[in-house]
Chains A and B, each alone.
Chain A
Amino acid sequence: DIQMTQSPSFLSASVGDRVTLSCKASQNINKYLAWYQQKLGEAPKLLIYNANSLQTGIPSRFSGSGSGTDFTLTISSLQPEDVATYFCLQHNSWPNTFGAGTKLELK
């Protein structure tokens, strides 16, 4: 199985900060990486698919990059409503696997 390693596990940042979250795959997953935002008590929401494609309706401050094994989610200017846990998912090969998540808090 492909292991997905997210870092950091916790991140505290200020409003307006540029925030970078990492997701590393244990083997090549090409571009089949998605990022999700999950707020407390809610279902996850797709932010980015195919590593760098912004899902419809998601603010442009969110962006994704990477291919192969190393991927990044960037929030260009952190907003209070971005407080959430962020998960990555590889769907290049079965079984699909999620990262453990990065919990983002406001400083």
Chain B
Amino acid sequence: EVQLVESGGGLVQPGRSLKLSCLASGFTFSNYGMNWIRQAPGKGLEWVASISSSSSYIYYADTVKGRFTISRDNAKNTLYLQMTSLRSEDTALYYCARRAALDYWGQGVMVTVSS
């Protein structure tokens, strides 16, 4: 069974940093591209970043480019999102999802940016 479990969220002050993790199981992690998507409270979905299976290709939304870094450790079956210079508008539920079509999603981890 494919499982994606996010962790690392919490309350953080504006301008600070936070690193999210997504532990994958039930499939060969190193064979799949992965993604981060976020959803602000009561709002729609926003694609944040994507990384190819071997980390050769990485893409970001303009809203996070230069502040967020997506990475992966295929030996640990883990996807990461390093978030710096956090803003109040980054407050959201952050999901990791597999493949370009986002065929499996984690349950999400909440990030709240507030002083």
Complex contact B47–A98 (CB within 8 A) = yes
Asked whether A34 is an interface residue with its Cβ less than 8 Å from the other chain, the reply is: yes
Bound complex: CA A91 to CA B47 (Å): 10
Q: Mark B73-110, 1 if CB is under 8 A from A, else 0.
A: 00000000000000000000001000011111111100
Bound complex: CA A89 to CA B62 (Å): 17
Which residue from chain A places its CB closest to the CB of B65 in the assembled complex?
Answer: A95
Complex contact A100–B44 (CB within 8 A) = yes
Bound complex: CA A38 to CA B62 (Å): 25
Complex contact A101–B101 (CB within 8 A) = no
Q: Mark B34-52, 1 if CB is under 8 A from A, else 0.
A: 0100000000111100100
Complex contact A94–B59 (CB within 8 A) = yes
Complex contact B108–A43 (CB within 8 A) = yes
Asked whether B11 is an interface residue with its Cβ less than 8 Å from the other chain, the reply is: no
- The answer, among B60, B61, B100, B107, for a CB contact under 8 Å with A91, is B100
Interface residues of chain B: helix, strand, loop or mixed (majority): loop
A91-B100, A95-B62 known; A45-B47 Cβ under 8 A? no
Within 8 A of B (CB), among A67-107: 87, 89, 91, 94-101
Which residue from chain A places its CB closest to the CB of B61 in the assembled complex?
Answer: A95
Bound complex: CA A32 to CA B101 (Å): 8
Q: Mark A23-59, 1 if CB is under 8 A from B, else 0.
A: 0000000001010101000011110011000010000
> Besides A87-B45, A96-B100, A98-B45, 10 other CB < 8 A contacts?
A36-B45, A44-B105, A46-B103, A95-B61, A96-B35, A96-B50, A97-B47, A98-B44, A100-B44, A101-B44
List 13 A-B residue pairs with CB atoms under 8 Å apart, sorted by A's residue number. Answer: A34-B102, A43-B95, A43-B105, A43-B108, A44-B105, A46-B102, A46-B103, A49-B101, A89-B47, A94-B59, A96-B35, A98-B45, A100-B44
